[in-house]
Every structure is written in C-alpha cells, then in structure tokens.
C-alpha cells in the first residue's frame, strides 16, 4: 500500500510541476446585478449628497490646500466637494492599467473583464504547519512568500502577507519587502503607513524592477480610509509617494457595517462609495492619471461579540453592488476573496471562504485581495487554508471562463458513436480530452471511504499542511541578478542603520 501511495504522490507532483502559473482570469460571465438602474442612481446621488452636504475630513494640510485651490468648500479639516468637480476628477483615472512584476511572465492588465488573485495581508498570528496558532515570525514571512511563488493561482504577492513579531517595528517594512522581492517575482503590495516607509518600498521596487516601473505598476499601495468619512495624513503621504512614482494606489474604505456605517445595506453603500470616490478624486487632483483601484473592505459586526463576520448575505450584497458602482464610474475595483472569521480551519472557514470567493467572481471584481490564507478576521494566516484557497482559486478561474463550445461538435460525434446504454470511458474523444475536460483537484479527496482510510484517513487540513511542507522543501528561489540582490541587501542594511531602533 505504501508503494501505491508513493506512486500517487509522484503522479500528483509531476502533474503539479507541469502546470504553469494560472493566467489572469478572463471572465466570460455577466456580472451579477443586485441593484436596478433606479437603485444604482439613488446610491450614487446619496453619495454625492454626502460629499456636498456632510463633507469628508482630509486630515492633511497639503490635501486641504489642494482641495481649496480646486474650489472645494473647506471648513477646518472638513471638505465639501461639488459633485461636478468630484466626477470631473474621477474621470481622469485610467479605466485600465498595466501591472508587471520583476518576472518576465508576470504581467497583466488591471481592469476590464480580467480578475487576478492576491494573497492576504497583515496577519500578526500564524496557524503553523502543526496546526498551532502562534505569533508570526520572520521565517513565516519567508515561507509565505515562497508559497505565493510556488502556488499556481496568485498573480500578486501580498508584500506584508504576515507581520513578523520578532522584527522591531521600525524595520519590519524593510524585511517584509526584502523577502517578498527576492522569494517571488510577482508584482506586490508595498507599505505606505508613513511617507518614509512608502519611499523605502518604492526605492526597493526600483532596484528590483528597474525600468519596468516606467511603464507599469510593479508595486502598489493599499490606502485604507478611516470610516466614517476620514482620510488621514499618514495614508495620503504614502499615496502621494506612490503616485509620484507612477505606481497604483488602492483606495479602500475599511467598513465594519453597523459599527462605522449605518445599520443598513443601502446607506452603507452610499457612505462607502463617497469615501472611495473622495480618495480617488484627490489622487487625480494631486497627479492626474494616477492608476487607482476602487476598493472596499466590508464585513458586518456581530452584535453579540462585536467581532467581524465574513460570508454573510449582506456582505455579499454590498460586494455585488460595489461592482455595479465601479463599472458605472469606469474604474477597476477590488474586493476580498476567501475571507473567514473562523478560529480554526474548519467547516465555518470553508463556508465563509467559499461564499466570499464565489461572490467576488460573480460580482466581476478585478482584484481578488486576501485570496489566500485569511482566517480569524485577518488576524491569522493559516498554512493549510493558504493551500486550500489556492486550489479553490484555480477552480473559480475555470468557472469564470464559462461554457466553451470549441469542442462541442466533436463531442457530439461521440454521442452518435456510443448511442443508448453505452459508456464513454474508452471513447476516442474521452481519451483525448479527459485530462482537461473537468477540474481535477489534488487537495480535495474524491476517493472511496476504503481508499481514503487505507491511505491514512487524512482530513483536508492535514493534506494541505503536507502539501505546504512539500512545496517549501522543493522550493527554488527565482533568479535575480547578483548585483541587484547585492544592491537590495545593501539598501536594507543602510536604512536599518539610519532608522535605528529609538
């Protein structure tokens, strides 16, 4: 029996090794609509009224000065923006833009009917290869960068996929970027929580990606708004650094529905829309043509515990409606995929992740953020879930491609050949196409109970952890010019000395 299992493992590894990275997903499905035209217009009008009448705070002297010069009504830090001014600025944002990592085969277009997957970001805790929850370490940063490169579905690296608690805070951004830039060749997210960190991230990307950044986005910033209705100086300082470098900024309100938005789906949408559009408009005011992505992170709040809840019906509706709003404005947009609030990699984790992933694809999201590893509301990154999410992403990509008629006529000939009461297992068409006709997942188990039991009765979490371990053991660091690596390492060492630990 051990030889049989070894043979199956060898076949699985060979099949995996032969598969290239998943191409950016071209959606052939019409995005779902949860608002009719009248409802969509009411949400838009309400957002405009919020910005005109209530206003939004820009807690940043430079932004206030620039809004004042543009004709907005400024009272203290409160900015009231006329809808015509706002929409004139929003229209300056590109509807599509080019993204390219340091690897030659990592490019894609952000926007249109393209969807891409990116890992989760920011977890201070890790559920490790033994299934134990503990603080994240630098080795976890390295491991998840390697898994991001090794897994087929990810088109972008999280950059700060998880946050190492064993590295001093002033140095963390340097270490996280250094590992992601060397262990992966993908475009990635940088860190813009201060002007200095943003400048470091852009400078490191310039060392690694070089001239790529002249014509494409190699590194992104995730600018997170403070709901309700606040954009602060730290985020705006970072966003301006990325904009000056011609790199993309994800403008993403952080919504805990019923906590920092009204306890109503439609009103939450109006507020989220106002917050996202205000940031997008500001970046076009600051630097017209800056590549931006309309973002939203939305979960609802448990009124029993105050904890965030993923995978709920209201979150799915909000996600779908945000897609409609982004298309109304001609903007690429982001949502979250594979979200889970569960404290274990269990049925709840799977149900939540499946709901958010399917919703994101059906809603037509361009950037599927947090599509690998997210558990416990983002506090924990899970090795097992990371692997399971990767396989789910691949299957969702097949779903998004829709039904092909390319081999339809040839397949119908098999119906004529076989006729009533036959079977297709030995038919020439089946033999020619069975390997790619239907998805053949490796992690999910479809054997009989007897086969599964004889093979060790491993549950999905165990199988995922074993695959993660195998991928890490067999990992090969992608090539980087030695002089580039030397320059990157020297930059990190110099900046660590300059920053110090005071």
What six digits make up the tokens of 83? 């809808």
What's the CATH code of the domain at 17?
A: 3.20.20.480
d(CA 314, CA 298): 10
For residue 410, being part of any structural domain is answered with: no
Flag whether 250 is in a domain: yes
Give pLDDT, residue 1.
32
- Alpha carbon 354 to its chain's center: 15
**What global pTM score does this model have?**
0.94
* Among candidate residues 167, 180, 111, the one with its CA nearest the CA of residue 136: 167
**Phi then psi for 262, rounded to 5 degrees?**
-60, 155
CA distance 320 to 314: 10
Q: Residue 345 is encoded by which pair of tokens? A: 């990699």
Cis peptide before 31 (omega within 30 of 0): no
Residues 54, 457: Cα–Cα separation, whole Å: 59
Angle at 183 between CA 177 and CA 189, to 5 degrees: 35
- Looking at the structure of the chain, the number of domains it has is 1
Helices (H), 287-382: 313-329, 347-363
Is residue 430 one of the residues assigned to a domain?
Answer: no
Whether 255 maps to a domain, the answer reads yes
The answer to whether residue 172 sits within a structural domain is: yes
Residuewise pLDDT in 10s, the chain (502 residues): 333 334 444 444 444 445 799 999 999 999 999 999 999 999 999 999 999 999 999 999 999 999 999 999 999 999 999 999 999 999 999 999 999 999 999 999 999 999 999 999 999 999 999 999 999 999 999 999 999 999 999 999 999 999 999 999 999 999 999 999 999 999 999 999 999 999 999 999 999 999 999 999 999 999 999 999 999 999 999 999 999 999 999 999 988 887 899 989 999 999 999 999 999 999 999 999 999 999 988 878 777 777 778 889 999 999 999 999 999 999 999 999 999 999 999 999 999 999 999 999 999 999 999 999 999 999 999 999 999 999 999 999 999 999 999 999 999 999 999 999 999 999 999 999 999 999 999 999 999 999 999 999 999 999 999 999 999 999 999 999 999 999 999 999 999 999 998 6
Res 256: pLDDT: 83
424 assigned to some structural domain:
no
HEC assignment per residue over 101-167? CCCCCCCEEECCCEEEEECCCCECEEECCCCCEEECCHHHHHHHHHHHHHCCCCCEECCCCECCCCC
> Domain containing 17: what range?
1-399+441-502
How far, in Å, CA of 334 to CA of 301, rounded? 21
Four-CA torsion 372, 374, 378, 382, nearest 10 degrees = -110
What pLDDT, on the 0 to 100 scale, is given for residue 502? 64
CA neighbor of 35 nearest in space, from 255, 329, 317:
317
Residue 419: inside a domain: no
Name the token pair of 165. 């608690």
Q: What is the pLDDT of residue 83?
A: 98
**Is 15 a member of any domain?**
yes
């Amino acid at each position: 029996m051990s030889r049989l299992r070894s043979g199956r493992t060898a076949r699985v590894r060979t099949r995996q090794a032969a598969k290239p990275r998943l191409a950016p997903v071209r959606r052939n499905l019409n995005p779902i609509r949860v608002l009719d035209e009248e409802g969509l217009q009411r949400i838009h009008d309400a957002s405009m009224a919020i910005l005109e009448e209530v206003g939004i705070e820009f807690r940043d002297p430079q932004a206030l000065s620039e809004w004042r010069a543009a004709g907005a009504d400024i009272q203290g830090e409160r900015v009231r923006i006329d809808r015509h001014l706002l929409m004139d600025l929003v229209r300056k944002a590109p509807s599509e833009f080019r993204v390219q990592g340091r690897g030659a085969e990592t490019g894609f277009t952000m926007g249109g009917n393209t969807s891409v997957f990116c890992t989760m970001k920011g977890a201070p805790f890790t559920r490790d290869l033994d299934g134990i929850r503990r603080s994240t370490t630098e080795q976890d940063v390295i491991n998840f960068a390697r898994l991001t490169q090794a897994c087929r579905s990810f088109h972008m690296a999280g950059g700060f996929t998880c946050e190492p608690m064993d590295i001093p805070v002033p140095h963390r951004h340097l270490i996280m970027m250094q590992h992601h830039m060397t262990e992966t060749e993908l475009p990635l997210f940088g860190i813009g929580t201060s002007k200095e960190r943003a400048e470091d991230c852009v400078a490191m990307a310039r060392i690694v990606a070089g001239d790529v950044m002249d014509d494409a986005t190699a590194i992104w910033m995730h600018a997170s708004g403070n709901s309700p209705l606040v954009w602060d100086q730290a985020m705006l300082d970072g966003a301006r650094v990325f904009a000056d470098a011609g790199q993309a900024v994800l403008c993403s309100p952080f919504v805990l529905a019923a906590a920092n938005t009204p306890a109503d789906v439609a009103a939450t949408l109006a507020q989220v829309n106002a917050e996202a559009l205000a940031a997008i408009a500001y970046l076009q005011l600051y630097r017209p043509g800056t590549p931006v992505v309309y973002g939203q992170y939305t979960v609802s709040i448990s009124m029993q515990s105050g904890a965030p809840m993923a995978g709920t019906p209201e979150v799915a509706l909000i996600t779908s409606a945000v897609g409609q709003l982004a298309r109304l404005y001609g903007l690429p947009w982001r949502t979250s995929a594979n979200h889970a609030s569960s404290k274990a990699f269990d049925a709840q984790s799977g149900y939540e992740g499946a709901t958010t992933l399917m919703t994101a694809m059906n809603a037509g999201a361009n950037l599927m953020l947090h599509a690998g590893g997210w558990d416990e509301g983002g506090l924990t990154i899970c090795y097992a879930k990371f692997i399971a999410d990767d396989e789910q992403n691949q299957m969702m990509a097949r779903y998004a491609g829709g039904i092909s008629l390319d081999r339809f006529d040839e397949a119908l000939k098999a119906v004529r050949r076989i006729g009533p009461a036959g079977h297709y297992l030995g038919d020439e068409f089946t033999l020619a196409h069975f390997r790619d006709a239907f998805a053949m997942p490796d992690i999910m188990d479809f054997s009989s109970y007897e086969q599964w039991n004889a093979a060790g009765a491993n549950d999905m979490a165990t199988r995922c952890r074993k695959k993660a371990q195998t991928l890490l053991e067999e990992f090969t660091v992608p090539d980087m010019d030695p002089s580039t690596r030397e320059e990157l390492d020297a930059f990190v060492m110099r900046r660590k000395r300059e920053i110090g630990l005071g």
